[in-house]
Amino acid sequence: MLFRSRTHSWVLMLIAFIWPKKGFIRGWIYLALRVLRLRSSDYSLAAGLACGAFASFTPFLGVHIIIAAGLAWLIGGNMVMALIGTFVGNPWTFPFIWAATYAMGSWILGLEQIIDDLTQLNFSLLMAYPGQVFYAMTIGSLVLGVPFAVMLLGLCYASAGHVRVLFQVIKQNRMKKIRLKRKTP
């Protein structure tokens, strides 16, 4: 058979998920090219990314994508970029974001911090004192997330035009090389 299905064991599929055969760089390059091909304005792309980044600062785990898409829709941002922007919050950055938002929210509200060491901020603490921790993290996320999103919006908006021009130049040069190869015997 030409195209027979190959069934792999769950162990091989898990290994391929953790460490892809073709590497991580290929996926990032593919994602960058997909973003560059989006037919949106520079503002729309930058606003979508900023909405996703802001949503990552909120303590509403599980609904970051919905928050980002809603905000992007309200301000005219790109939904795909809002989804990509939510990757600001990931397993490596969430502990820092949560500690910073909790500390900032507690300081602004004048609440006594439940714990002295912010490395002990975890889910069981949230369940023990849900109102105080959640409220402090929500206020802290607004105070820290808005300036971060505005900064990201400015940086992305300023650089989006340059990146698109560079992409077009690279694409045109590649097409010229292909045409020259076709003409030469």
- Asked if residue 105 lies in contact with residue 23, where contact means CB atoms within 8 angstroms, the answer is no
The pLDDT score that the predictor gives to residue 120 is 65
Which residue reads 């369940």 in tokens?
A: 127
The DSSP symbol for 21 reads T
Q: For the chain, first and last CA: distance in Å?
A: 37
| Helices and strands counted in the chain (H then E) | 8, 0
Output the CA torsion 125→127→133→139 (10° steps): 140
- Asked if residue 71 lies in contact with residue 55, where contact means CB atoms within 8 angstroms, the answer is yes
Give the whole-angstrom CA distance, residue 83 versus residue 72: 10
The pLDDT score that the predictor gives to residue 19 is 79
The pLDDT score that the predictor gives to residue 140 is 94
Q: Which of 157, 150, 159, 158 is nearest to 46 (CA)?
A: 157
Digits of tens for pLDDT over the chain (185 positions)? Answer: 566 666 678 788 778 777 777 877 887 788 777 777 778 888 998 999 999 999 999 999 889 999 999 999 999 999 989 999 999 998 889 888 988 998 899 899 887 766 666 666 666 777 777 778 888 999 999 999 999 999 999 999 988 778 777 777 888 888 888 888 887 76
Q: Which of 133, 135, 138 is nearest to 118 (CA)?
A: 133
Give the whole-angstrom CA distance, residue 148 versus residue 17: 31
Query: In this structure, is the dihedral angle defined by the CA atoms of residues 155, 161, 164 and 170, taken in order, positive or negative?
Result: negative
- Asked if residue 140 lies in contact with residue 159, where contact means CB atoms within 8 angstroms, the answer is no
Which residue reads 């919050």 in tokens?
A: 89
| Structural Rg of the chain based on CA atoms | 22
The model's pTM: 0.73
Tokens of 157: 């908006």
The pLDDT score that the predictor gives to residue 117 is 64
Which residue reads 């994508």 in tokens?
A: 65
The pLDDT score that the predictor gives to residue 9 is 80
